[in-house]
Amino acid sequence: MDFHYDIDFIFPNDEPPFDSSFDDDELELTLAIAIEELNNEGASTSRRRLVQPCRFIWRNPLQGHDRLFHDYFAKTPVYPPNVFRRRFQMSRSLYLHIHSRVEATEPYFVQKRNAANTLGLSSLQKMTAAIRMLAYGVSANFMDECLRIGETTAIKSLKKFVKAVVSIFSEEYLRSPNNNDIARLLAVGQHCGFPEMLGSIDYMYWKWKNCPSKWKGQYIGHTRDPTIILEIVTLYDLWIWHAFFGFPGSHNDINVLELSYVFSELAEGRAPPVNYSINDNDYSMGYYLANDIYPSWATFVKTIPAPQDHKKQHFASAQEVARKDVERAFGVLQARFAIVRGPARFFSP
């Protein structure tokens, strides 16, 4: 006869013999082993509850790790580098660099043994599941067949991975430009016909499929579906040095601009100086290319609506061409990481 035991009976001291950082796969295995041991010991039926038994899937995570390792990370892998680049949206050397930094920073990605002294999921399995979800926008249980990883474990791996990447690399990449960066940006702006330009600014909407009902009112804007706003500043090389994300989608460019911190250092007088002169007028700050809805600030250069003469038509055309950099950045972001192209499926921003 099959029995289902209360977890309080299996662990009477409220201290399960496993680490709280273990995955749902390892937890299920630990519970299954504990129940099996109690069955083998012939525990008294008076302490059993006769209900439907727990369903447990033994995924054999070591088999999933071996397959993944031989396919992509062995000395002579099954798939060549160009296939790796296409499937992971990065080179193998970059993947391994991120992997080593994440594993050293986040203990969750360190492979552990459970209470039964069985090895759990490897860091390669967890990180690959996260990157595949980012690159393809697939659901969490899609990873199970090839990686032998449970749905909730894949979701947890994704959340842990993105938080680790932000904490490790944001100081180096997602930061305000320093003096060297500004010199490079100004040189690129000069080449594009806009001297002293620091980049293009714009934002995009990301549909939020699983927005909680209590929040839908503030996240519904120009569309009927809840959306989240992402504001970025970028240049032709796709370096997104400013990103402001998570704002309710019921606002427009001006509302988002007033709350974002893109000009916080400039307002506080800590921004690197940018000195130049146009038409005998001296300026001490760089500028950004923007669309018509942005306010008429000295730091914004907008197109000329309905230009009449040839000079204004040329300027409007050049401004619109150069401002396509930010549109291209959004396009490449959604092409490279399909999770942004589809609707967000989490329950919090």
Share of the chain above pLDDT 90, in %: 36
User: Which residues, 6+ apart, have CB-to-CB distance to 186 below 8 Å?
Assistant: 195, 196, 197, 198, 274, 286
DSSP sequence for 156-202: HHHHHHHHHHHHHHTTTTSS---HHHHHHHHHHHHHTT-TTEEEEEE
Amino acid in position 345: R
- Spatial separation of the C-alpha atoms in residues 313 and 192, rounded to whole Å: 17
Helices 324-336 and 310-322, axial angle in degrees (round to 10): 20
Over the chain, what is the mean pLDDT?
A: 82
- pLDDT tens-digit series, residues 106-164: 999 999 887 778 888 999 999 999 999 999 999 888 888 889 898 999 999 999 999 99
For the chain, the residue count is 349
Q: Which of 14-23, 98-107, 284-293 has the lowest mean pLDDT?
A: 14-23
Least confident segment among 97-106, 111-120, 225-234, 336-345: 111-120
Give the mean model confidence (pLDDT) for residues 35-64.
63
Cα 152 to Cα 59: distance, rounded to the nearest angstrom: 14
**Cross-strand pairs, 230:** 204, 245
What percentage of the chain carries pLDDT values higher than 70? 83
Structure tokens at 20: 């709280």
153 in Cβ contact with 121 (< 8 Å): yes
Instruction: Give CA angle at 134 (133, 135), nearest 5°.
Output: 95
pLDDT for residue 35 = 63
**Residue 307 confidence (pLDDT):** 86
The C-alpha atoms of residue 283 and residue 281 are separated, in whole angstroms, by 7
Tell me the β-bridge partners of 231. 203, 244
**Residues 299, 196: Cα–Cα separation, whole Å:** 11
Three-class SS string for 86-143? HHHCCCHHHHHHHHHHHHHHCHHHCCCECCCCCECCCHHHHHHHHHHHHHHCCCHHHH
At 8, is the pLDDT very low, low, confident or very high (cuts 50, 70, 90)? very low
Looking at residue 254, what is its pLDDT?
A: 82
Residue 103: count of CB within 10 angstroms of its CB: 19
Residue 5 binned pLDDT confidence (cut-offs 50, 70, 90): very low
Sign of CA dihedral 243, 244, 250, 254: negative
Query: Predicted confidence band at 236 (pLDDT cuts at 50, 70, 90)?
Result: confident
pLDDT for the residue 23 = 59
Mean pLDDT computed over 179-201: 82
The pLDDT of 230-243, averaged and rounded, is 88
Weakest-pLDDT range from 170-179, 189-198, 273-282, 329-338: 273-282
**pLDDT at residue number 7:** 38
- The pLDDT assigned to 166 comes to 93
Q: pLDDT at residue 272 above 90?
A: no
Distance CA 189, CA 193 (A): 6
| pLDDT score at 228 | 92
- 9-14: long-range pairs with CB below 8 Å, 24+: 9/47, 10/34, 10/35, 10/38
Over the stretch 90-99, which tens digit does the pLDDT of each residue have? 999 999 999 9
Rounded mean pLDDT, 38-55: 53
**Contact assessment for residue 122 and residue 111, using Cβ atoms and an 8 Å cutoff:** yes
Q: Which two tokens stand for residue 102?
A: 């994440």
Q: Supply the pLDDT for residue 132.
A: 94
Residue 147 carries which side chain, given as an amino acid letter? Answer: L
Q: Taking the model in full, what pTM does it have? A: 0.76
In the chain, where are the structural domains located?
Answer: 1-169, 179-336
**3-class DSSP state for residue 310?**
helix
Please say if the pLDDT value at position 12 is more than 60.
no
